Amino acid sequence: MRRPNPLQWLWYAVGGRLPERLRPWVLHDVTARTWVLRHAARGAVVLSPIAAACLLLPGPLGLRLAMVLLVAIVGVYFSLSYVDESCELRAAKHGHEHGIARATRDARNEKAEEAAQARYAAQYRS
């Protein structure tokens, strides 16, 4: 599987579309075990210039640092609130069927989920 180069990844992180040959990597990106962390990294790329701009504004350093913290908290909160939908749209934008990312992650976790339900049933439903 081919990976995007750093410039392509930056374009992808801000919402751009990658070439067709990187389509399998996009599906891997939104379904890997670290898919939430990958989403957070893409969000950090988008929030970094905003936070840097806050540091350049006039005013006391404490206020500017508080603004950076506020950008980080609000940005991460909203980004992670819609992580599943965002990853689905990202996969669909690259030509995958809508819902494939969630289905792929669910299929990977199916056995672990069944084992957890069996343990729960054995302990609490007997």
**Quick check: 126 pLDDT over 80?**
no
pLDDT, tens only, 19-34: 999 999 999 999 999 9
Give 112: exposed, middle or buried? Use CB within 10 Å, 0-12, 13-18, 19+: exposed
pTM of the model: 0.84
**Quick check: 96 pLDDT over 90?**
yes
As a whole number of Å, the CA-based R_g of the chain is 19
First to last CA, the chain: 47
